[in-house]
Structure 1
Amino acid sequence: MKKTLVISSVVVVVALVAMGVFLVMTNSSNPSGIATSTNPFGNPGLGGGQGTTTMSEIISIKNRDGEIRTVPDFTKDHPSIEQTSGTYYYVTQNEQNEEMYPDFSIVYGSDSSLSIGIFAEPLGASRLHAEQVLKKLLGLSNSELCKLDVAVMVPVDVSETYAARDLGLSFCPGAVKLP
């Protein structure tokens, strides 16, 4: 079972990285005209912070419309991998590269993409659990999350029926209804 979970995780991560490469290659270098920086998350000061959050505790993410949102830095203390297409953070893994949740995984790309891999039945309950964690990490409402570049995928060994397609977040338009 553990070996299957590890293999499934690797397959999903490879698929998500490939999807990230595709997204990066299909976008122009800076279509929104927003200033860029060497920080992979853009300028942390854009959009302003809330309360006593310092600049090092927030990051900026871009939604599909090119708007910038500042969110708590949910990438801290999580493993990352450098690819030619960018940096990917395994935000549901701890510093020892262990998954914190057995039913899903969330990967954040420096291109502002979020990929959720669902690894356990019932798929609907696993997706809801992932959505709850995502909301807590980002501190965004359902409508704000729907504007982000989020892909929800299931490996074929978990469900042949729902594999190889983006299921979406349950509360967003066009989401696939799951059992």
Structure 2
Amino acid sequence: MRVRKKTSKRTSTRMREGIKKKATAQRRKEKKMAKKDITWKSRSKKDPGIPASFPYKAQILEEIEAKKMREMEERELAKQQRLEAKRAAMEAGVTEEMMDDDEDDSNGLSALVESAQAAAEEYDGHPYSEELQSQPVDVIDYDIDFYTDADNDNDSELEKSRKAYDKIFKTVVDASDV
């Protein structure tokens, strides 16, 4: 077995400079993409604040501080109310899961009823009333027998199915309000 010579690292100047050019272009592109990359930047923009030369800066800062304090107090009050409600429920023997289920059901169901009433009002053109809800709905059952209609036994199967369809169609149209 014969040992081969190492391949030479000598290249033409044109090839060497071309490689350098491509490498610098690649580095430039990567730097540009790194500037655009949002991975390392925060999503929220930093508040620039109030300029020092603004005439009523102190008043605005006081208002902002007062607003923050009010919001914090409201949050604390809501938290206390939730804790008191939870304690009262525990004393009454109602579990936390049951309370959550009741709240979800009542809110979801009431919202569903309200949206259905609004849709009915929009469709009918007149407001939804409780009187309409209390009126009984008439349900009519029709007994349709496909096989007792034997006027002509020599009719083809296609004609029989057509006659059955016509019979059903006629009963449905007669029963409808349209």
Q: Same fold (TM over 0.5)?
A: no
TM-score (norm. length: structure 2): 0.22
Q: 1 or 2, which has the higher strand percentage?
A: 1
- Which structure has more relative contact order (CA 8 Å, sep 6+)? It is 1
Q: Which has the greater radius of gyration? A: 2
